[in-house]
Amino acid sequence: MDEPRTIFHVDMDAFFASVEIRDDPGLLGKPVLVGGVARRGVVAAASYEARKFGCRSAQPMAVALRLCPHAVVLPGRFEAYAEASDRAFEVFDQFSPVVEGLSIDEAFLDMTGTTRLFGAPAVAAEKLRAAVRDATSGLTCSVGISAVKFLAKIASGHRKPDGLTEIPPGAELEFLRPLPIEELWGVGPKTAERLRAHGITTIADLERVGRPALEHWFGSSGVHLHELAHAMDPREVVPSRDRKQISHEDTYAVDVVGEAAIRRKLLSQATRVADRLVAKSVVAKRVQLKIRDTDFRTETRQCTLRPGTDDARVLYKAACDLLQGVEIEGRSFRLTGVGAGDLVPRGVQGAQLDLLPPEPNARGIVEPVRLQGVLSAVRSKFGHKALFPAEAGGEARPDSAGGLSDTREED
């Protein structure tokens, strides 16, 4: 007999602002805004105290400060947020093998079949919330539980902060009906406006209208709306492909201006990432550049590398190529980061890595010698230019005329 699906949506409460308040108890009870203070800066997070004044994330900072002039504005400490996020996701991983990260502070967990391990869904959710609190030194999260994916997400927002909302199987429509249409995933201000023009303001209205009318007005997205209004959502929790990326980013106290300065930061970050790749015996098939300006606008760009690499120079070159797509003129930057994703164990990515004959290792076990490792060893001894694996079957050569242009593709 099939157990019904159990999906959790876990969402940290006012995440950036909560990390700031945790680390500086003097902020407790004060309206806190994390974000850019420069001319076009935006709010990245608003504490619940600030939300009482109408402040919210993605709002222009100037607007937020008009609503709440006495708010404490902080520039953000992204390493602290990444660290707290790692702790929370480690807890998620302990509760479910199927974790789909949606952002730095929220995830879906497929909890189907975990009752014997953690108890009934609501019991398991309280255990998870307590574990997150412990692991993050006091940060709270809210959890929504449902058999239907999008409903779990709506539910987690229902009793924020520090809340738990369970929609038992069979109670989905009852939960949905009174909600305003904006609560549905994919109903933005424009769709909402059009629906209102037809007299539809709640999900109950949407349910009543029926599929033919919705399809007539909105085409295929009308069919989708009809399904959501009837709590039909067959989407599964899909484990994040690239959550376990290795990245290094820094937030700077002094703004970084100009391409040369940015490149210097990227070189040091690529080197740190490469060191961690080597230490973990993995290669990355994807490189990500992240950059944030003083207006708090964040850009991420990524490209694919074939074959994968753990070479700092290849990562650096790829990050610099990605930087070409970023408008640098007239902007100053507060954060840069290099990330390496699509990690695979070194040696499994292609036969070209196994060109050398097997040799017994220290314990007498025969292992294929990994060319990449040999080359790294040679480079670290004689310098990077000592050896390029021209015969190794298309290894990216960072200094070659064509650069990475023929081994990368936009993702």
For the annotated catalytic residues, the residue numbers are: 106
d(CA 17, CA 81): 10
CB of 142 to Mg ion, least distance (A): 8
Label residue 71 exposed, middle or buried (CB < 10 Å: 0-12, 13-18, 19+). buried
CB of 105 to Mg ion, least distance (A): 4
For the CB of residue 401, give the shortest distance to Mg ion in the complex, in Å. Answer: 47
Asked if 12 interacts with Mg ion (CB under 5 A), we say yes
- Answer yes or no whether residue 105 interacts with Mg ion by CB under 5 A: yes
Identify which of residues 103 and 324 has a Cβ nearer to Mg ion in the complex.
103
Closer residue to Mg ion (CB): 11 or 100: 11
User: Least distance from C-beta 191 to Mg ion, angstroms?
Assistant: 23
Strand partners, 12: 141
* Residue 356, helix vs strand vs coil: coil
Amino acid at the residue 231 = A
Q: Is the CB of 91 or the CB of 284 nearer to Mg ion? A: 91
Closest of 270, 291, 238 to residue 340, by C-alpha: 270
Chain centre distance of CA 225? 27
What is the token pair recorded at 111?
Answer: 């909890």
Q: Is 231 helix (H, G, I), strand (E, B) or coil?
A: coil
Would you say 18 or 112 has its CB closer to Mg ion? Answer: 18
Q: Which tokens belong to 13?
A: 């409460």
Q: CB under 5 A: which stretch of 14-22, 31-39, 42-50, 80-88 binds Mg ion?
A: 14-22
Compute the least distance from the CB of residue 15 to Mg ion, in Å.
5
**Strand pairing class (72-74; 99-103):** unpaired
Q: Among 9, 11, 96, 124, which residue interacts with Mg ion (rule: CB under 5 A)? A: 11
81, 16 contact by CB (below 8 A): yes
Nearer to Mg ion, 90 or 162 (CB): 162
Q: Which residue from 45, 36, 57, 48 is spatially nearest to 15, judged by alpha carbons?
A: 45
Q: Which residues pair with 33 in a beta bridge?
A: 46, 73
Q: Is 330 exposed, middle or buried (0-12, 13-18, 19+ CB in 10 A)?
A: exposed
Cβ distance 166 to 141 under 8 Å? Answer: no
- Taking CB under 5 A as the binding criterion, the range among 30-38, 100-108, 192-200, 305-313 that sits at the site for Mg ion is 100-108
Over the Cα atoms of the chain, what is R_g? 25
* Least distance (Å) between residue 101 CB and Mg ion: 12
Q: Binding of Mg ion at residue 183 (CB under 5 A)? A: no
Longest CA–CA separation in the chain, Å = 77
Q: How many residues bind Mg ion (CB under 5 A)?
A: 4
Q: Which is nearer to Mg ion, 102 or 377 (CB)?
A: 102
**At closest approach, how far in Å is the CB of 404 from Mg ion?**
36
Please count the helices (runs of H) and the strands (runs of E) in the chain: 15, 15
Residue 363 token pair: 């314990």
> Cβ distance 252 to 335 under 8 Å?
yes
Residue closer to Mg ion (CB basis): 19 or 246? 19
Smallest CA-to-CA distance from 256 within 207, 302, 294, 306 is with 294
Residues that bind Mg ion (CB under 5 A): 11-12, 15, 105
